[in-house]
Structure 1
Amino acid sequence: MNAEIITIGDEILLGQIVDSNSAWIGQQFNLLNIPVTQITSISDKPENILEALKQASSRADIIIVTGGLGPTKDDVTKQTISTYFLKPLVRDVMVLEHVQTLFSRVAPGKMMPDINQAQADVLEDCTVLFNDVGTAPGMLVEKEGKIFVFLPGVPFEMKYLITNRLLPLLKNLVAQQPIQHRHIITIGLGESFLAEKIADIENSLPANIKLAYLPKLGLVRLRLTQIGESAESIDDFHTRFIQRLGHHVVATKDITLEEAIVETFSSENLKLATAESCTGGSLASGITAISGASAMFDCGVVSYHNNIKQELLGVKADTLEKFGSVSEQTVIEMAEGVKKLAKADYAIATSGIAGPRGGTAEKPVGTVWIAVSGKNETQTRLFQFRNDRAVNIERTVANAFAMLWNMYIKDKSN
């Protein structure tokens, strides 16, 4: 059994919103061992919806459609599926009462417009997926052995209906096999080098255990998946991969590098501080977004102006005059200055030219210096990213955390 997702809305195609719904649905279906084999985004046009339903039904057993269930004229999904299934729309009394109750709460004393009553219209003979948290109900329709599910595009409403209405129904339809996942977060090896290092173990995996490589800036996530039972357990292979990769392993569960830093530094009572110029607080934001960061993060200074570098971080005026703010000497003094200021064990400093302006022949856009100061030394690296501003900042953050982690591992091994 497989699934396909269709998202309806010009706002997705225009890039006005990001389709996070499909990723979340895929995660939930994966837990049921129902693979999502295709995701399609289409505009709010009847002919596009009809064609997408036709094509999806030829490929998938379950078709999930999100969006286009609102009461306004641009939401044409209901009328279109009425045409597709050759069934009329009928007004559901329970849904109508629910819509009227919700309307009275937000507009007490006012008459509900007729257009809102259309929210209670559902396809005849469908299974209504009652929406407790919104006005648009979901609908489940079966046709020629295929299951079609129509859901509102509002994320919290869609998630409620999937979790509380759809998944309980699907669990009764799907032949359940136990499915297990294990994760390893690695750093310091590119995807190809990583694959070469563990090739013999990967080649020995039984047919029902699969290994996936999920690269991201600065790290590679390995995901082991076991479906059903096996003579050799997924934990045995998980351990073998961990042992083989040694110091390249950051975490043995599905977390980010930032989460690993917060978790590890907190457990070992280590303190971190940051001094940022070109990253504008992104390092501090990445750490403090993690619950529990207060146990290990002391302070972050965004020192865009040279006066702040001097007065707060202790960067020498002579250093700035002789080498400039984007230099190895400056980031060293920034890192050591904020470490001293916060009485931290580790500190990160960044300074660079993120772009799109500000570059020179000697220091073009994308030039970035990073310094990490630890218990025994301060290390620096020069990067020449030469991308757009957002990517330059993202790459700087990823490399800064990687440098921090590598220094921590080095200190620990010593």
Structure 2
Amino acid sequence: MNASIITIGDELLIGQTIDTNSAFIAQEFNKVGIWVKRRVAVGDVAGDIRAALDEESKQAQIIILTGGLGPTADDITKPLLNNYFGGKMVIDPKVAEHIEYLFREVYRRSGPIEERNKKQAEVPDVARVLHNARGSAPGMWFEKNVDGRTVVFVSLPGVPHEMKGLLIDEVIPRLLRHFKFPFIVHRTAFTAGMGESMVAERLPDFEAALPRHIKLAYLPSYGIVKLRLTGQGHKEQQLTDEVDLQFDQMTALLEDIIVSKKDEPIEQVIGHLLLKQQKTMATAESCTGGNVAHWITRVPGSSAYYNGSIVSYSNIIKEALLQVPAGVLRAQGAVSSETVEAMVKGALQQLGADYAVATSGIAGPDGGTPQKPVGTIWIAAGSQDRIVTKLLQLRFDREQNIEITTMQALLLLRRMILDQEG
């Protein structure tokens, strides 16, 4: 069962707005066995939207549209769909009542409701109206016979909060009643220390022996590689058992580079380890500017093991708060093994943690020298008993250098914690 997602809006094409809707829809569809085959972005151009509808209806049985349902003149999706499906616009009394409620009771607007807002209660008479509890633009469900197949078209608001509510409360329950979907099962392993091609070189026989209904995908990012096995079938338990068996075989071949056998980020892996040991951590950051702290604290419950951070962007702060010796900064420089080692010691003492990580380097695009070019970054992780440092020589832009440094610092901390545990 294939689906297509069509996102509508010039703001998506010029990069002004990032399309998070498609990712959410795909994730939720995947949970119920709907495979998103294609994602298409089009501007606020009627001909382009019609062409996308025609093309995607040849590919998929479910088409989800987001965007273009607002009250302004550039929101053209609703009248276009009315024309496309041969309907006429009518006032839906329930939508009109809901709009009245929103403006009077929720938004608490005084004075008359503007006509453009009232017109959001107009819907094509050929559509099944889907209640939008979070906003004034209703969702709409259409059906059309395409080459002997019934294709479902669902139009949703582009506002993510409203789209999510409609998808979960209205669209998916209706789709589950309308179609019978296969099961989709995923298992993901998280590896580090080896590039994508090198990992693949260790799995050719394994990949060749996979059943046709189970696929392997490589997902590289910031110095790590995730491997995802995906199986599709109609018997859930049988499929789960098959995928689990293949996953165990795959991870046995990669045991030395496995970080986690779950689809979880490195910061969550760190959290599990610290909770298990009943230990705490802190961060001392320079070039990453608090990004390591940000990663750690985006995990709910991280206050149980994360004490805090000192973002020592200047040498004055390194000396004053982290007690990095002035002689080290003069002789070795802020970007050095000696400095990050001292930063770890300072963080352990000042923030009262069992473990600490430190970063200091030249993220770019400026600031490099022939001896220490842009991308030269030192990281460290340690405890009261031991501190390890590592030199990174990165070649990317500033944002990527910071993200990779954050990942590598946490991987270094993970290894430190495991070594202490062992």
- Class of the TM-score when normalised by the shorter of the 2 chains: over 0.9
In the TM superposition, residue 108 of structure 1 has moved relative to its aligned partner by 4.3
Bigger mean CA deviation after superposition, 369-378 or 23-32: 369-378
> Equivalent residue of 2:254, what SS?
helix
Counterpart of 2:22? Answer: 22
Q: Is it true that 1:271 corresponds to 2:276 in the alignment?
A: no
Q: Is it true that 1:387 corresponds to 2:396 in the alignment?
A: yes
**For residues 139 and 372 of structure 1, what CA distance do their matches in structure 2 show?**
54
8 Å contact 2:345–2:384 — kept in the other structure? no
The correspondence of residues 52-63 of structure 1 with structure 2, limited to 5 A, is 52-63=52-63
Counterpart of 1:337? Answer: 346
8 Å contact 1:141–1:149 — kept in the other structure? yes
Counterpart of 1:11? Answer: 11
In the TM superposition, residue 128 of structure 1 has moved relative to its aligned partner by 0.7
Counterpart of 2:33? Answer: 33
In the TM superposition, residue 349 of structure 1 has moved relative to its aligned partner by 1.0
In the TM superposition, residue 38 of structure 1 has moved relative to its aligned partner by 1.1
> Equivalent residue of 1:41, what SS?
strand
8 Å contact 2:376–2:393 — kept in the other structure? yes
Bigger mean CA deviation after superposition, 29-38 or 355-364: 355-364
Counterpart of 1:257? Answer: 266
8 Å contact 1:65–1:149 — kept in the other structure? yes
Change (3 A) 1:160 1:196: same
* Structure 2 gap segments, 5+ residues each: none
CA offset digits 1:200-237 (Å, max 9, x no partner):
33333222222222222132222222322458622222
> Equivalent residue of 2:126, what SS?
coil
Change (3 A) 1:346 1:26: same
In the TM superposition, residue 294 of structure 1 has moved relative to its aligned partner by 1.7
8 Å contact 1:315–1:333 — kept in the other structure? yes
**For residues 353 and 270 of structure 1, what CA distance do their matches in structure 2 show?**
31
8 Å contact 2:335–2:377 — kept in the other structure? yes
Counterpart of 2:294? Answer: 285
**For residues 386 and 318 of structure 2, what CA distance do their matches in structure 1 show?**
21
In the TM superposition, residue 8 of structure 1 has moved relative to its aligned partner by 0.6
8 Å contact 1:375–1:411 — kept in the other structure? no
TM-score, normalised by the number of residues in structure 1: 0.94
Counterpart of 2:161? Answer: 156
In the TM superposition, residue 146 of structure 1 has moved relative to its aligned partner by 1.4
CA offset digits 1:8-40 (Å, max 9, x no partner):
111111212110000111111112222111111
8 Å contact 1:104–1:110 — kept in the other structure? no
Counterpart of 1:191? Answer: 196
CA offset digits 1:170-226 (Å, max 9, x no partner):
112322333322222222222222223233333332222222222221322222223
CA offset digits 1:86-123 (Å, max 9, x no partner):
22211111111111111112244411111111101111
Q: Is it true that 1:316 corresponds to 2:351 in the alignment?
A: no
Counterpart of 1:178? Answer: 183
* Structure 1 gap segments, 5+ residues each: none
Q: Is it true that 1:213 corresponds to 2:222 in the alignment?
A: no
Change (3 A) 1:305 1:409: same
**For residues 219 and 289 of structure 1, what CA distance do their matches in structure 2 show?**
20
Counterpart of 2:151? Answer: 146
Counterpart of 1:101? Answer: 101
Bigger mean CA deviation after superposition, 161-170 or 78-87: 78-87
**For residues 361 and 159 of structure 2, what CA distance do their matches in structure 1 show?**
40
**For residues 46 and 291 of structure 2, what CA distance do their matches in structure 1 show?**
43
Counterpart of 1:133? Answer: 134
8 Å contact 2:348–2:384 — kept in the other structure? no
8 Å contact 2:273–2:417 — kept in the other structure? no
Counterpart of 2:124? Answer: 123
CA offset digits 1:286-308 (Å, max 9, x no partner):
11111121222222111112122
CA offset digits 1:68-103 (Å, max 9, x no partner):
001111111112122222222111111111111111
**For residues 272 and 262 of structure 1, what CA distance do their matches in structure 2 show?**
10
**For residues 303 and 91 of structure 2, what CA distance do their matches in structure 1 show?**
53
**For residues 72 and 312 of structure 2, what CA distance do their matches in structure 1 show?**
49
**For residues 344 and 117 of structure 1, what CA distance do their matches in structure 2 show?**
58
Counterpart of 2:377? Answer: 368
> Equivalent residue of 2:322, what SS?
coil
**For residues 375 and 356 of structure 1, what CA distance do their matches in structure 2 show?**
35
8 Å contact 2:69–2:75 — kept in the other structure? yes
TM-score, normalised by the number of residues in structure 2: 0.93
CA offset digits 1:364-398 (Å, max 9, x no partner):
22221112224643222222223322122111111
**For residues 66 and 397 of structure 1, what CA distance do their matches in structure 2 show?**
34
In the TM superposition, residue 138 of structure 1 has moved relative to its aligned partner by 0.6
8 Å contact 2:85–2:126 — kept in the other structure? no
**For residues 243 and 386 of structure 1, what CA distance do their matches in structure 2 show?**
33
Counterpart of 1:50? Answer: 50
8 Å contact 2:46–2:76 — kept in the other structure? yes
